[in-house]
């Protein structure tokens, strides 16, 4: 199996075995170049080139790229500095009241629920978390927590620790039957799992840049369904939130009429430009192609780990799984194993006393075989 990307796109892939996209993905080469050039220009020329016009239109490319990726419209997209920041602004915008609740899972990445917990401290709304059973969250258990008082269901499309994938259509039907919002954190799915906002029928979808979309730290996007663009007042506001950002007047604020009303301040703008490049690249490579490629890699990983005698604590059903594979090896200190692998130039993460592998488009089956061989070697010697 060959890589589906070229050496120039990911110059360091092949120099080591990097199975850690769920932590930080390798960055697309052109994104790195654009970010460096933007910062160099800023350092040498201040705002001579990056002038007020450039600053005003700086997110246009990102709006277009992110919209194409998820089958939305550019006006439905807001740029932000991180997924967490956008989730915080959104949670305050929705501000569920004392008699309302927000539903999620107990295994969700903290940033997907902490912003709602912070709002709950202030308003008294209830937070309901579906429980994990046998390393799995049953979607029916999430749906059972939704009632007429649910303001939002805020979930991660793919669980960060074991890669469980949720069926968004199924959740959207249950959520909308109760007039609630489906808020999806796609940080662990965008770039690896096909997303079609129109088919999935989600209300809000947020993703950071630096994992499966192969972009930088410092950039993220949020999709906001059209009726919410009018209805919501962002939790975080600033000079950029006003409809004409350079008409600076502290006495009033008239919000931008699109999702961009959630853009409120300056940020590491070069990162947003680099992020647009990486999204374009992922889109052109084809998310379905990436998904199929990554599936072959994870099939081989699972096979190799089972041969070693490991227990796979990620879902194994096609409908629930992704290329994130978590494995537990009885009586092995996973942290030491991870360090041993690192010495052999194989990079993975640990989650609890398990290893989490997360191969992506720049990996090949040779990478997987090398990782499995290094694990076997380490187990023989320790
Ligand atoms: C599901 C999920 N959401 C959000 C984050 C953090 O995103 P950010 O750093 O953009 O705030 C992570 C990081 O691991 C994650 O796994």
Determine if ligand 1 sits within 6 Å of the CB of residue 208: yes
Convert the pLDDT of each residue in 15-72 to its tens digit. 999 999 999 999 999 999 999 999 999 999 999 999 999 999 999 999 999 999 999 9
Q: Which CATH number fits domain 30-285: 3.40.640.10, 3.20.20.70, 3.40.190.10, 3.40.30.10?
A: 3.40.640.10
Out of 81, 84, 113, mutate this one to test ligand 1's pocket (max ligand atoms within 8 Å of CB): namely 84
Residue 315: per-residue pLDDT: 97
What's the pLDDT score for residue 211?
Answer: 98
Q: Residue 352: its pLDDT value, please?
A: 86
Q: What is the three-class DSSP state of 245?
A: coil
220 ligand 1 Cβ < 6 A: yes
pLDDT of residue 221: 99
Please list the pLDDT of the chain residue by residue as tens digits (382 residues): 667 999 899 999 989 999 999 999 999 999 999 999 999 999 999 999 999 999 999 999 999 999 999 999 999 999 999 999 999 999 999 999 999 999 999 999 999 999 999 999 999 999 999 999 999 999 999 999 999 999 999 999 999 999 999 999 999 999 999 999 999 999 999 999 999 999 999 999 999 999 999 999 999 999 999 999 999 999 999 999 999 999 999 999 999 999 999 999 999 999 999 999 999 999 999 999 999 999 999 999 999 999 999 999 999 999 999 999 999 999 899 999 999 999 999 999 998 889 999 999 999 999 999 999 999 999 999 9
348: tokens are 């993975």
97 and 125 Cβ atoms separated by less than 8 Å: yes
The single-letter DSSP state of residue 330 is: T
How far apart, in whole angstroms, are the C-alpha atoms of residue 19 and residue 138? 27
Instruction: Determine if ligand 1 sits within 6 Å of the CB of residue 207.
Output: no
Cβ(111) – ligand 1 distance below 6 Å: yes
Look at the pTM and tell me if it is higher than 0.85. Answer: yes
Q: Where along the chain do its domains lie?
A: 30-285, 287-381
Beta-carbon count within 10 A of 344 CB = 16
Q: Which two tokens stand for residue 260?
A: 């961009």
Q: Is the CB of 156 under 6 A from ligand 1?
A: yes
Q: Please tell me if the CB atom of residue 105 comes closer than 6 angstroms to any atom of ligand 1.
A: no
- What's residue 7's pLDDT? 87
In 10 A of CB 55, how many CB atoms? 15
Ligand 1 atom, smallest distance to 81 CA: 10
Ligand 1 in reach of 113 Cβ (< 6 A): no
Q: What six digits make up the tokens of 302?
A: 């699972």
Cα(303) to centroid(ligand 1), Å: 29
| Ligand 1 nearest-atom number relative to CA 209 | 10
**What DSSP string runs through 82-133?**
-HHHHHHHHHHHH---TT-EEEEETTS-HHHHHHHHHHHHHH--EEEEEPPB
Write the residue with the smallest CA distance to atom 9 of ligand 1.
82
| Cα–Cα distance measured from residue 64 to residue 354, given in angstroms and rounded to the nearest whole number | 39
- What does CATH list as the number for 287-381? 3.90.1150.10
């Amino acid at each position: 199996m060959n890589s589906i990307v070229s050496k120039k796109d990911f110059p360091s892939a092949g120099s080591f075995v990097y199975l850690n996209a769920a932590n930080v993905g390798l960055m697309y080469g052109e994104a790195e170049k654009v970010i460096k050039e933007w910062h160099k220009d800023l350092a040498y020329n201040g705002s001579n080139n990056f002038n007020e016009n450039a600053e005003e239109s700086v997110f246009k490319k990102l709006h277009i790229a992110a919209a194409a990726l998820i089958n939305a419209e550019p006006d439905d997209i807001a740029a932000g500095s991180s997924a967490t920041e956008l989730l915080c602004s959104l949670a305050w915008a929705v501000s569920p009241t004392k008699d309302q609740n927000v539903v999620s899972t107990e295994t969700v990445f903290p940033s997907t629920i902490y912003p709602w917990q912070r709002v709950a401290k202030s308003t008294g709304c209830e937070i309901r978390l579906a429980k994990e059973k046998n390393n799995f969250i049953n979607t029916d258990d999430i749906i059972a927590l939704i009632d007429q008082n649910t303001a939002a269901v805020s979930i991660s499309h793919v669980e960060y620790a074991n890669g469980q994938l949720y069926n968004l259509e199924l959740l959207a039907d249950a959520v909308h039957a109760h007039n609630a919002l489906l808020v999806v954190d796609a940080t662990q799915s965008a770039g690896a799992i096909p997303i079609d906002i129109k088919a999935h029928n989600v209300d809000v979808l947020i993703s950071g840049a630096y994992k499966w979309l192969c972009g930088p730290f410092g950039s993220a996007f949020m999709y906001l369904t059209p009726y919410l663009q009018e209805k919501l007042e962002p939790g975080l506001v600033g000079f950029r939130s006003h409809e004409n950002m350079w008409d600076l007047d502290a006495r009033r604020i008239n919000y931008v009429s699109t999702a961009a009303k959630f853009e409120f301040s300056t940020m590491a703008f070069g990162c947003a430009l680099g992020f647009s490049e990486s999204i374009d690249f992922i889109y052109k490579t084809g998310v379905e192609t990436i998904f199929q490629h990554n599936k072959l890699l994870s099939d081989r990983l699972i096979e190799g780990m089972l041969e070693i005698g490991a227990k796979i604590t990620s879902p194994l059903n096609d409908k629930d799984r992704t290329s994130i594979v978590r494995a537990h090896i009885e009586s092995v200190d996973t942290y030491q194993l991870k360090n041993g692998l690192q010495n052999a130039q194989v990079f993975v993460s640990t989650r609890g006393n398990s290893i989490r592998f997360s191969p992506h488009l720049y990996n090949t089956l040779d990478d997987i075989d090398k990782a499995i061989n290094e694990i076997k070697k380490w187990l023989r010697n320790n």
